[in-house]
Amino acid sequence: MAEQTAPDAPVMNFYTRRWVRPEDLNANGTLFGGSLLRWIDEEAAIYAILQLGNERVVTKYMSEIDFVSSAWEGDLIELGLVATHFGRTSMTMRCEVRNMITRDSILTINKIVFVGLDEHGSPLEHGYSSITYDRDRIPRRHGSPIPQARPER
């Protein structure tokens, strides 16, 4: 049975759009699952980096993957993620991929777990318990300083 979403549950944002190209097809002429999973894993890693404020995030677990329907060459698809749980060192996300035009679901993954690591590769406590919608946790290396006005010559 489909999982119910609580009325006050955070809304899933569809951040990334993809154009299904010939190199992404399987022998059946539809979107290759391996390409889709690579895109999801990368998208989830970026989401985890921004939520946990840590570049050293790794995929720990992915639950059952339900390929609901196919996508064909030329289709426009979009990838959605939402954090569903913040643990001590991990965070859990839910993922949906859908056709951008028809909104028909292509894939769902109920549970993707990422773990933030320290410089030794050990799980690192992140201290967060809720989603940020700002860019306030971006790891320092990616935080560009506000551009300074050029000095007068």
Ligand X SMILES: CC(C)(COP(=O)(O)OP(=O)(O)OC[C@H]1O[C@@H](n2cnc3c(N)ncnc32)[C@H](O)[C@@H]1OP(=O)(O)O)[C@@H](O)C(=O)NCCC(=O)NCCS
Q: Which residues would be at the binding site for ligand X (CB under 6 A)? A: 58-61, 87-90, 113, 115, 117, 123
CB of 111 to ligand X, least distance (A): 7
CB of 33 to ligand X, least distance (A): 17
CB of 117 to ligand X, least distance (A): 6
The residue among 20 and 115 lying less far from ligand X, judged by its C-beta, is: 115
The residue among 56 and 138 lying less far from ligand X, judged by its C-beta, is: 56
Output the six-digit token pair for 113: 């777990």
The sign of the torsion formed by the CA atoms of 43, 45, 47, 49 equals: negative
Measured from each CB, the residue nearest to ligand X is 87
